[in-house]
Copies of this chain bind each other. A is one copy, B any other.
Amino acid sequence: AMEKSYVTMFLLFIAISCALAKDVGKKETKETTAKPKLPQTLSRGWGDQLIWTQTYEEALYRSKNSNKPVMIIHHLDDCPHSQALKKVFAEHKDIQKLAEKFVLLNLVYETTDKNLSPDGQYVPRILFIDPSLTVRADITGRYSNRLYAYEPTDISLLHSNMQKALKLLKTEL
């Protein structure tokens, strides 16, 4: 019981801290005087040697045409969980190599497509989309209250989920 409540508290902490981080992030964008470092890149530090798409529309288009699955990372600059995951993701050689097989997109602003937030708009949140344009609701992390969240310690699970996403769904004939 002791262990369970510890886990519960930990999960609660994740939920609260990223929710807070998200609010902070949105407020920060009001400060229009602070200029970002130029030039702005699409990788945002998730893998500077990888090719990133700019928008969701571009990602879907490229997925259909290349038959590669899409990997979408929702994150925020002011969310410490996002930053910690990014560091591990960018430094993980096998993940960076495997990422080349995906159409990649990282987003700080949510799209209007509700399929991309099956259980909410928390960050960090990683979703896979099959070239048949099906969101892979079956590819999840460890946390039942935030199915598509990953902590840095979950990086091996993320790697195996990437391998799972590369086994494409069969198209209905």
Contact = CB atoms under 8 A, between A and B. Distances in A.
A49 B36 CA distance: 11
Interface string A90-122: 000000000000000001111110000000000
A48 to B, nearest CB: 6
Which of under 10, 10 to 19, 20 to 34, or 35 or more describes the interface residues of A?
20 to 34
Interface in A24-80: 29-30, 32, 35-36, 38-43, 48-49, 51-52, 54-58, 61-62, 65-66, 68
Contact of A39 (B41, B65, B66): B41
A127 B89 CA distance: 38
B51 A40 contact: yes
B112 A66 contact: no
B30 A66 contact: yes
Contacts of A40: 41-43, 51-52, 54
A13 to B, nearest CB: 28
B39 A39 contact: yes
A55 B105 CA distance: 11
Contacts of A29: 61-62, 65
A51 B35 CA distance: 8
Interface string A144-165: 0000000000000000000000
Nearest to A53: B109
A110 B148 CA distance: 28
23 contacts: A29-B62, A29-B65, A30-B65, A30-B66, A32-B65, A32-B66, A35-B51, A36-B51, A38-B48, A38-B51, A39-B39, A39-B42, A39-B43, A40-B43, A41-B41, A54-B54, A54-B107, A54-B108, A55-B56, A55-B109, A57-B110, A57-B112, A61-B109
